[in-house]
Structure 1
Amino acid sequence: MMLLWCKALHVFFMVAWFAGIFYLPRLFVYHAETNDEATRNTFKVMERRLWWFVTPFAALTLIFGLGLIYLYGMTWLKLSVWLHIKLVLVLLIYAYHFYLYKLVKDFANDNNRHSARFYRLLNEAPVLVLLAIVILAVLKPAI
């Protein structure tokens, strides 16, 4: 029963985290497109608050993910090649998450160097990584 609770919480916090990291670059798109100072200031607040709101979800996703590895055991970890690939992709998502923080800080300092198009592409990138992670986790292919 503990394993199922751990898995459910891992998935829940991952979904909540991804909702935020899908939305944050969309805010960057709108922020990059505006020239109105009051609107830019509103976006700065929204971006900062959103990043700090979803960061605990990222941490809890990690904690429950590590809990799953512990509960399944080290033999399972060693034999699950699909999981090794998934963990590399997860590391990329954490790097992406912290890159978003850098961008939040750039916008906060009025130091944006990218176009709205860049942020549109940045917004789409994690979708493919998430798809790969879900496929690996659900299908557990023998690689």
Structure 2
Amino acid sequence: MDLALLYPWTKALHLLSVIAWMAGMFYLPRLYVYHTAEPVGSATSETFKTMERRLLRGIMNPAMILAWIFGLTLVMTPGVVDWSAGWWHGKMFGFLAMTATHGFLAAQRKGFERDERRYSGRFWRMVNEIPTVLLILIVIMVIVKPF
């Protein structure tokens, strides 16, 4: 099938996947801020574990996988990317960093599941800003194409 004919659908599905992924990327570190403040073994701590697991497995992981699939499909669509331009390097850095951040958050969820609290609420507040900064970079690279 000609990928160019599917381009509008692929782009729409990619954008929807990214929006779902970003919602989770904004919310999970915030849950960690609140979870860190709860006593180990408390009912609220156990509720946070359930919320974090469901968010990651039910929304974030599938959304990230779909964002990657549709994004790679867009890249393979003839004429979508001008490989002589430099903007795609910035975008590639941004989405690889977003994926690495996702992996870090997923690993930390396993720690919370084991009642490990490696980082403070302040640390998680700072981590909560990383997806925002990366999203700004990615959007500017794709829309503005500054170089």
TM-score by length of 1: 0.93
Q: Is residue 67 of structure 2 the alignment partner of residue 61 of structure 1?
A: yes
Q: Distance in 2 between matches of 1:112 and 1:77?
A: 45
Count of matched residue pairs: 141
Worse overlay, 27-36 or 54-63: 27-36
Q: Secondary structure at the match of 1:133?
A: helix
Alignment of 1:1-143 (within 5 A): 1-35=5-39, 37-53=42-58, 54-73=60-79, 76-141=81-146, 143=147
Structure 1 residue runs without a partner (length 5+): none
2:90 and 2:137 in contact (8 A); partners too: no
| 4+ aligned runs moved over 6 Å, structure 1 | none
Structure having the larger proportion of residues in helix: 1
Q: C-alpha offsets along residues 62-117 of structure 1, whole Å, 9 cap, x if unaligned?
A: 0010111111359x452231012201110000000010011100100011111111
Provide structure 2 residue ranges, at least 5 long, that are not aligned to the other structure: none
Shift of 1:40: 0.6
Q: What is the aligned-residue RMSD (CA, Å)? A: 1.4
Q: Whole-Å Cα distance in 2 between the matches of residues 48 and 72 of structure 1?
A: 38
The 8 Å contact of residues 17 and 67 in structure 2, kept in 1 or not, is answered as: yes
Aligned equivalents of 1:60 and 1:21: distance in 2? 15
* Counterpart amino acid of residue 67 in structure 1: T
Distance 2:138 2:17 in 1: 15
Percent identical:
43
